Each structure stands twice: as structure tokens, then as C-alpha cells.
């Protein structure tokens, strides 16, 4: 990893969605293969970071069994992933001042790359940009991104002062590099939103046990 950024990067799993298409269940608790999506995420993501947080809205006590630090969204009106990113940036500034960066991922990606954090930092450095996001199949995944803690007040103003809700719009203001992954034999950023997606994810997990 360029410059050894792992020890300066905090990971956050964004679990703020209400999972309407899944009957209101926490998507992170869905089982893919022999493990929940959250367990699969942790196994892949946690070793890449200095520490891992979980950001959630609603009753955060529902994640008490995870042994993770759970950070509540402070923003009103279900402000979406930007609120979770801000909550993690603020937590880092207060509790881990040695951390310069956070990397956010959604709680519904069971096949997250094991080199995500390194590749995002490499893209940022190579592109001379302050931010970086993952991409696949010519599509940017703005929620899967690298964010400097130093921009937390700028993000707070965008959320509270402007009512901004789209990650990509805020990121574009600062400059964003892309780190692209191939989609063969499967898209590593495949996310589970529906029962059909659960079935597809289970087929991938059966075909690629190391995925």
C-alpha cells in the first residue's frame, strides 16, 4: 500500500438502509453461503484498516452482538450514506486523531475485494486527487470510497447547509480518482437488494468458495 496507509485508514460499514425490498430486514444479516454478509465483509475488510466501525440509523442496539463500535447517524430525514460517512469522519476526529482517512462500504456487498483500501489509496496517489471511489463495468460506486477526515466540516455544510444527499455530487467538488476492478468471473461490488440477488449471491459463493 502506498506509504503504508493501512494504519491511517479507518473502515466504516454503512448499514443505514431500511431494506424495503428485503422485507425490512438488515441486509447485513442475510446469509450468503455459510456466513452473513456482515461476517463476510469483516473477514475481507477489517484486516485492511486500523479499525472498523459500523454506521447505522434507527436503533443501533440491534448491532450490539457484533462487538463493533456502532456510530449513529446524527442527520435528520434519513440523509443517506453521506450522513454515515460524516458520522464516521466525526468519530475518527474525536476518538482516533491519528487517523487521516476513512473508507466506506455498504453493508450489502458480500464479495468485497481484499485489496480495496490499497487500491483506493493507489488511485488517489496516482491521480493526484483527494478522494477515490471504486468502479466496475464502467460504473462508479460512489459509496465505496476513500474520504479524508479533514473534509468533515465541508461535508457537514453540504448536508446541513445545502441539503445535499448524493455522494457523487459532493465528491465531484473535490476531485475523485477511480480504482477499477474487472467483473469476471463476477463483479466484486455485486450488492444484495432483493431475494433474487440473494439467490445469485449464493450461486456465486457456491461456484467460487474463496470469493
Separation CA 172–CA 11 (nearest Å): 21
pLDDT at 31 over 60: yes
Q: Where exactly are the structural domains of the chain?
A: 2-207
CATH number of 2-207: 3.90.550.10
pLDDT digits (tens, 9 = 90+) for 145-201: 999 999 999 999 999 999 999 999 999 999 999 999 999 999 999 999 999 999 999
Global pTM value? 0.92
> Within a 10 A sphere around the Cβ of 182, how many other Cβ atoms?
10
SS3 30: coil
Strand partners, 177: 132
Among the listed residues 31, 50, 27, 53, the one whose alpha carbon sits nearest the alpha carbon of residue 40: 31
Label residue 49 by pLDDT band (50, 70, 90).
very high
Amino acid at each position: 500500500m502506498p506509504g503504508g496507509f493501512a494504519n491511517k485508514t479507518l473502515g466504516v460499514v454503512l448499514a443505514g438502509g431500511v431494506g424495503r425490498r428485503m422485507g425490512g430486514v438488515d441486509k447485513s444479516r442475510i446469509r450468503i453461503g455459510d456466513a452473513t454478509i456482515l461476517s463476510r465483509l469483516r473477514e475481507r475488510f477489517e484486516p485492511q484498516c486500523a479499525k472498523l466501525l459500523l454506521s447505522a440509523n434507527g436503533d443501533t442496539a440491534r448491532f450490539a452482538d457484533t462487538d463493533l463500535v456502532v456510530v449513529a447517524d446524527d442527520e435528520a430525514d434519513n440523509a443517506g450514506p453521506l450522513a454515515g460517512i460524516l458520522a464516521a469522519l466525526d468519530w475518527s476526529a474525536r476518538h482516533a486523531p491519528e487517523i487521516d482517512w476513512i473508507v466506506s462500504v455498504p453493508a450489502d456487498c458480500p464479495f468485497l475485494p481484499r485489496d480495496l483500501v490499497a487500491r483506493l489509496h493507489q488511485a488517489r496517489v496516482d491521480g493526484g486527487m483527494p478522494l477515490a471511489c471504486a468502479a466496475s463495468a464502467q460504473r462508479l460506486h460512489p459509496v465505496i470510497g476513500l474520504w479524508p477526515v479533514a473534509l468533515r466540516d465541508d461535508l457537514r455544510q453540504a448536508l446541513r447547509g445545502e441539503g445535499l444527499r448524493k455522494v457523487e455530487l459532493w465528491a465531484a467538488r473535490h476531485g475523485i480518482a477511480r480504482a477499477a476492478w474487472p467483473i469476471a468471473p463476477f463483479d466484486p461490488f455485486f450488492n444484495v437488494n432483493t431475494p433474487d440477488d440473494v439467490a445469485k449471491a449464493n450461486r456465486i459463493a457456491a461456484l467460487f468458495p474463496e470469493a
